[in-house]
Amino acid sequence: MNAPLIDPFARAITYLRVSVTDRCDFRCVYCMSENMQFLPKKELLTLEELDRMCSTFVDLGVKKLRITGGEPLVRRDIMTFFQSMSRHLESGALEELTLTTNGSQLARFAQPLYDAGVRRVNISLDTLDEEKFARVTRWGRLAQVLKGVDAAQAAGLKVKINAVALKDFNEDELITMTQWCASRDIALTWIEVMPMGDLGNEDRVGQYWSLKDLRHQLAQHYTLTELSERTGGPARYVRLEETGQKIGFITPLTHNFCESCNRVRLTCTGELYLCLGQEDMADLRAPLRNNPKDDAPLQEAIHKAIGLKPKGHDFDYSRQKADGQVTRHMSHTGG
C-alpha cells in the first residue's frame, strides 16, 4: 500500500491540492455565484482529518502540498493545521507546503505561515484598479489585499500573482500589472478563464481572453525569451529581457497541458478529483472515517482512485460555447 502513486498513463502523482473550506470572503465572478449556498460544517473534514488525509498522501509519495479554498485563511484555527503539517517538512518527506489565497487575511497570517515552513504564496489578483477590483470580487477591497502583499514580502514569503485574463476587463492593465510586479520582484502568471460553475449568471465565452492574444500584446512591449523551467504545474514561462522578470501562462483552452499532469485535488469534504476539468471523483471521507485506527483502507482507496485518473480535460471554446464545462464551482475543488 505504500507504493508510489502512478496513474494509468505512467504519470507519478506527487502534488496534492487540498481545499480546506468552500467558504470565502470574496465572490469572484469566475469562481462562485454571489449568493452561494455553502456546505454544512458537519460535511467538512475536521482539521485533524485533513492532517491524517494529507499525511497519508505524503506517505504515498506526495512531495508538494498546496492549501486552497474557498479562501483557506478564513477557516477557523487553520494555523494549527499548517503548524502540524510542518513536521513533514522537517522530516524531509514533504518538499513544499504552500497555499493559494486572495490575500485578504495575509496581514494577519503571513508571519505565522512563514514560521510554519511556508516559503511561497500565490495571491489571486486580477486588477490594480480599485473600482474594477470591487466589481470582479463583488465583496473585496483592493487596499486589504495590497496590505497582505506587503505583509507577505515583509515576512520573507516569495509572492506570485495569479491573474485571470478577462476580456474587456483587464486587457488594458497588461502592461501596468507587468510593471507593478517587476517593481516589487513578484512573479506574474496569467490564467485563461475556465468553464466551471453555473453559467446562468456569467458568460464564460464572453469573459474569455486567449493568452495567445495576451502574449502577442506583451511581445509588442518586451522581448520574450522562452524558459524550459517547470515548477510541477501547468504554467509555461517566459522571461522579459528588459526587466528580467518571469511571466507564466496557464492555458487550459489554447494549450492543453495534461500530458505532464502530476496532481490531484482533494475537496474539503474528502472528495478526490482526478482532473480539474472532469466530473469523476472518489470519496475518501468514508474510508477515512470508517477506519479511524487503520490507514490501510484509505491507502487502498487512494490507489484505486489514481488508477482512474483520465488522460486530460475537454475544455473547449472553439465553437463559441463552453464545451467541456463542469457544473461545480471552482471554489468547490480549490482551483
Residue 268 marked ligand-binding: no
Which residue matches cell numbers 490507489? 303
Residue 124 marked ligand-binding: yes
Residue 258 marked ligand-binding: yes
Element (H, E) at 25: none
CATH H superfamily, domain 15-333: Aldolase class I (3.20.20.70)
Residue 61 marked ligand-binding: no
Note the pLDDT tens digit of each residue in 176-230.
Answer: 999 999 999 999 999 988 664 444 445 555 678 889 999 999 999 999 999 987 6
Residue 30 marked ligand-binding: yes
Can you give the pLDDT at residue 37?
Answer: 85
Residue 181 marked ligand-binding: no
- Position 77 pLDDT exceeds 70: yes
Q: For the purposes of burial, counting CB atoms within 10 Å of the CB of 264, is it exposed (0-12), middle (13-18) or buried (19 or more)?
A: buried
Angle (CA) 264 268 269, round 5°: 100
* Contacts of 327 by beta carbon, 8 Å cutoff, 6+ apart: 197, 198, 279
Residue 54 marked ligand-binding: no
- Position 118 pLDDT exceeds 90: yes
Residue 119 marked ligand-binding: no
Pick the residue with more confidence: 255 or 295? 295
Residue 194 marked ligand-binding: yes
The domain limits of the chain are: 15-333
The H-assigned helical ranges of the chain are: 47-59, 78-91, 106-115, 130-137, 142-155, 174-183, 204-207, 211-219, 285-290, 296-306, 330-333
Residue 275 marked ligand-binding: yes
Q: Comparing 117-126, 178-187, 248-257, 261-270, which segment has the lowest mean pLDDT?
A: 248-257
Q: How remote is the C-alpha of 202 from its chain's centroid?
A: 21
CA–CA gap between residue 139 and residue 257 (Å, rounded):
32
Residue 70 marked ligand-binding: yes
Amino acid code (one letter) for 182: A
- Nearest Cα neighbor of 194 from 306, 18, 29, 19 is 29
Residue 265 marked ligand-binding: yes
331 band by pLDDT with thresholds 50, 70 and 90? low
Residue 135 marked ligand-binding: no
Note the pLDDT tens digit of each residue in 291-322.
Answer: 999 999 999 999 999 999 988 755 444 434 44
Cell numbers for 115, please give them. 514560521
Q: Are strands 236-240 and 246-250 parallel, antiparallel or unpaired?
A: antiparallel
What is the pTM assigned to this prediction? 0.88
Cell numbers for 80, please give them. 494549527
